[in-house]
Amino acid sequence: MLSVSAMLIALPAGAQVCAGTPPPIEADGRVLGHLPYGDAPPDELVAVPADVAVRGCVLRRDVLPDLQRLFAAAAVSPEVGGRVLALSCHRSLTRQGGVFCREPATDADTRAVSVAPPGHSEHATGFALDFAFRPRVNGCPDTEACVAATPAFRWLRANAPRYGFEMSFPVSNVQRVKWEPWHWRWVGTSAGVPGAARARRLFATARRRFPASPGVDNAVVIADVPAPPVYLSLPAFAEPKGKRRRRR
């Protein structure tokens, strides 16, 4: 009998593409840099309370206790200077396909810098979510690196691990996915927390080969965003050549 994680990795044929030639599957199962994940069982998904979500949002039941503790702590922490909210949570393969394919004129490789192809998104597991930070800084969109300039993000970076969350795609990640300070996955504070062992099994490859870490303390200039450039801290970040910027 297949284990749950094996079933989750079993993907429907053709799930990775919008139209045209499918992108190549790398030897380790990655497509356009993203590891394979299936869809979470619907009966394990529960709604995130509306008062802490930008819009309707569901996650695995086991994530909710830690997530609600995180939101409760953020709500009473003066350093937050605003609010931390859930922006985007579980996405079905169909939904992810819609997100990945919404700009068909852009080539798949470019789209994959910031969006995983369907079947390859942590969002499908139900253990990952995007956070939003309010108020916005300089009109920064929710899913651009400039969100890292908000006090709310800084609080999240410092505190999320205490609630079992880790940043999936830190600066200069060797997976070569765009830095996504808003995107975190839940793995529990220990393997003994209900559900944490399952989350850790799902993310085992990602955690072993592309370790998650906030890793943004020295980031200084965030480019390629529609909002004005954001300066986070000094001294200048010594960027490893070819790692942080767009993957080609």
Q: Contact, 82 vs 150, CB < 8 A?
A: yes
Q: How many CB atoms lie within 10 A of CB 43?
A: 7
Separation CA 84–CA 87 (nearest Å) = 9
Considering the complex, state which of residue 184 and residue 237 has its C-beta at the smaller distance from Zn ion: 184
Q: Report, in Å, the least distance between residue 189 CB and Zn ion.
A: 21
Q: Interface with Zn ion includes 34 (CB under 5 A)?
A: no
Q: What are phi and psi of 195, to 5 degrees?
A: 90, -20
Considering the complex, state which of residue 2 and residue 224 has its C-beta at the smaller distance from Zn ion: 224
Per the document, the length of the chain is: 248
Q: Report, in Å, the least distance between residue 31 CB and Zn ion.
A: 16
Q: Kindly indicate which of the ranges 31-39, 100-108, 175-183, 231-239 contains the residues binding Zn ion, using the contact rule CB under 5 A.
A: 175-183
Q: Contact, 180 vs 169, CB < 8 A?
A: yes
Residue from 39, 62, 130, 144 in contact with Zn ion (CB under 5 A):
130
Binding to Zn ion in span 177-216, by CB under 5 A: 183
Q: Report, in Å, the least distance between residue 228 CB and Zn ion.
A: 24
Considering the complex, state which of residue 8 and residue 24 has its C-beta at the smaller distance from Zn ion: 8
Separation CA 167–CA 156 (nearest Å) = 10
Q: Which residues of the chain form beta strands (DSSP E)?
A: 45-47, 58-60, 83-88, 128-134, 165-167, 183-186, 221-222, 230-231
Q: Interface with Zn ion includes 91 (CB under 5 A)?
A: no
Considering the complex, state which of residue 94 and residue 190 has its C-beta at the smaller distance from Zn ion: 94
Separation CA 59–CA 126 (nearest Å) = 5
Q: Kindly indicate which of the ranges 105-113, 127-135, 149-157, 235-243 contains the residues binding Zn ion, using the contact rule CB under 5 A.
A: 127-135
Q: Interface with Zn ion includes 66 (CB under 5 A)?
A: no
Q: Report, in Å, the least distance between residue 1 CB and Zn ion.
A: 31
Separation CA 112–CA 120 (nearest Å) = 10
Q: Interface with Zn ion includes 166 (CB under 5 A)?
A: no
CA quadruple 95, 174, 188, 83: dihedral positive or negative? negative
Which residues of the shown chain bind Zn ion in the complex (CB under 5 A)?
A: 130, 183
